[in-house]
């Protein structure tokens, strides 16, 4: 099994920049693709801030940062993915957009053995795989935020993912990135979000009904159940737009009411109150 040394990441938001960072820190050659130069610079700034936190915490040295930065290349064209052995799509949770990216990657990536992976939180991998002529090479690799801190990766195989692709992907996540891998079947939400999203939506409905304040809901789960973060603060961290997108994907697949996004969530997303990334969600955050 050949060692993966050249990785491409598509999308430099919170998740994509985190994935690119951990790959660069692992000694890999990383190409990070964004829409334009402005978005690429924002992604770089996000990674640099994370590096700074690592240095301040004593987990990285300035030499580590310099070496990792030298392995990270920002581009604005998917053509730069041509020589990648592994590409990880990490754009917004929008199915048509992801499908189009996989269609283009299938055309661009030259290595027939390359793995085409998605960091999707909920979209069935088969829908992305069928946009390519190599569905056996397509998998889900779902990282968790913040990527440099949380140790988990969900590895999702579709009905057509080859055993070789899955084994190689797991070996990469475990050996190169030192992540813990759990394997999931290919259904909306996979393992973690299929369990998490109904919990978050229940907390949103409780707040929406006026039964309890956001502060008391979160205090109850942090102090009463020893959760590190309350459900509404966690929703803000994930991004309320992402919570909505995952909920809609789950509801589309299962048609169960517990997955339906509450009206309050829909209105907050419409208003741009997305949580930490917008500065305000259920709580307010400093700029």
> Cα(31)–Cα(213) distance, rounded to whole angstroms?
44
> Cα(171)–Cα(167) distance, rounded to whole angstroms?
6
Q: Give yes or no: 142 in active site.
A: yes
> What are the E-state strand segments in 65-184?
72-75, 86-89, 115-118, 138-143, 152-157, 180-184
Look-up of token digits 């930065």: 69
Kindly name the residue from 34, 142, 157, 169 that is annotated as catalytic. 142
Q: Give bridge partners of residue 143 from the DSSP assignment.
A: 153
3-state secondary structure 85-106: CEEEECCCCCHHHHHHHHHHHH
Kindly name the residue from 121, 137, 158, 169 that is annotated as catalytic. 121
> Cα(127)–Cα(39) distance, rounded to whole angstroms?
27
Q: Give yes or no: 121 in active site.
A: yes
> Cα(211)–Cα(239) distance, rounded to whole angstroms?
23
The per-residue b/e assignment along 172-209, b for 16 or more CB within 10 angstroms, e otherwise, is: bbeebbebebeebebbbbbbbbbebbbebbebbbbbee
Stated length of the chain: 287
CA angle 33, 196, 213 (to 5 degrees): 110
Kindly name the residue from 50, 161, 184, 193 that is annotated as catalytic. 193
Is 115:134 a contact under the CB 8 Å cutoff?
A: no
> What are the E-state strand segments in the chain?
6-10, 29-33, 72-75, 86-89, 115-118, 138-143, 152-157, 180-184
Q: Give yes or no: 145 in active site.
A: no
Kindly name the residue from 154, 157, 161, 169 that is annotated as catalytic. 154
Q: Give yes or no: 193 in active site.
A: yes
Which residues does the annotation mark as catalytic? 121, 142, 154, 193
């Amino acid at each position: 099994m050949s060692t993966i040394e050249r990785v491409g990441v598509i999308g430099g938001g919170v998740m994509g920049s985190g994935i690119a960072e951990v790959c660069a820190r692992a000694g890999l050659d990383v190409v990070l693709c964004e829409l334009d130069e402005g978005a690429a610079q924002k992604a770089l700034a996000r990674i640099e801030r994370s590096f700074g936190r690592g240095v301040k915490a004593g987990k990285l040295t300035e030499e580590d940062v310099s070496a990792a930065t030298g392995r990270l290349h920002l581009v604005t064209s998917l053509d730069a993915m041509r020589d990648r052995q592994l590409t990880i799509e990490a754009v917004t949770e929008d199915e048509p957009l992801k499908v189009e990216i996989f269609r283009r990657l299938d055309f661009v990536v030259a290595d027939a053995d390359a793995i085409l992976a998605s960091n999707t939180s909920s979209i069935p991998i088969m829908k992305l795989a069928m946009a390519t002529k190599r569905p056996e090479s397509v998998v889900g690799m779902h990282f968790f935020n913040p990527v440099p801190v949380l140790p988990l990766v969900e590895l999702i195989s579709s009905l057509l993912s080859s055993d070789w692709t899955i084994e190689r992907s797991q070996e990469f996540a475990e050996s190169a990135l030192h992540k813990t891998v759990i394997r999931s079947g290919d259904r909306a939400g996979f393992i973690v979000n299929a369990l998490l999203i109904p919990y978050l939506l229940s907390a949103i409905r409780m707040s929406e009904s006026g039964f309890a304040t956001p502060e008391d809901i979160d205090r109850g789960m942090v102090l009463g159940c020893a959760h590190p973060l309350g459900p509404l603060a966690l929703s803000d961290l994930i991004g309320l737009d992402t919570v909505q997108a995952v909920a809609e994907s789950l509801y589309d697949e299962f048609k169960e009411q517990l997955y339906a996004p509450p009206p309050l969530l829909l209105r907050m997303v419409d208003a741009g109150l997305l949580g930490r990334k917008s500065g305000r969600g259920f709580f307010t955050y400093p700029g």
